Amino acid sequence: MSVVHGNADLFRANEVVIAGPRLLIFSSYAIRRERPVVGQQLRQLLRRGGFRG
C-alpha cells in the first residue's frame, strides 16, 4: 500500500470517528503534507464535542 492510499484510509476512518467516538489518528505524512485536512478534521471533532472557539 502506498503512503497516499494509507493516508486516505486514515482520513476515511477519521470521518467515521467524527460521527462517533472521539479518537482521531493521523500519519506523520498527513501532519506534514495534508495540514488542511488534518486541521479540518480536528475542528469538526472539537465542534462536535461542544467547542465553539
pLDDT in tens, 15-37: 888 888 788 999 999 999 999 99
pLDDT at 9: 94
| Global pTM exceeds 0.75 | no
Gap between the Cα atoms of 45 and 19, Å rounded:
8
- Supply the pLDDT for residue 41: 95
Q: Does residue 20 lie within any of the structural domains?
A: yes
CA distance 8 to 29: 11
Q: Confirm whether 53 is domain-assigned.
A: no
Residue 51 neighbours by CB distance under 10 Å: 10
Domain count, the chain: 1
Residues 6+ apart with CB under 8 A from 10: 25, 26, 27, 30
Instruction: Domain of residue 41: give its range.
Output: 3-48
Residue 13 placed within a domain: yes
pLDDT value for 43: 96
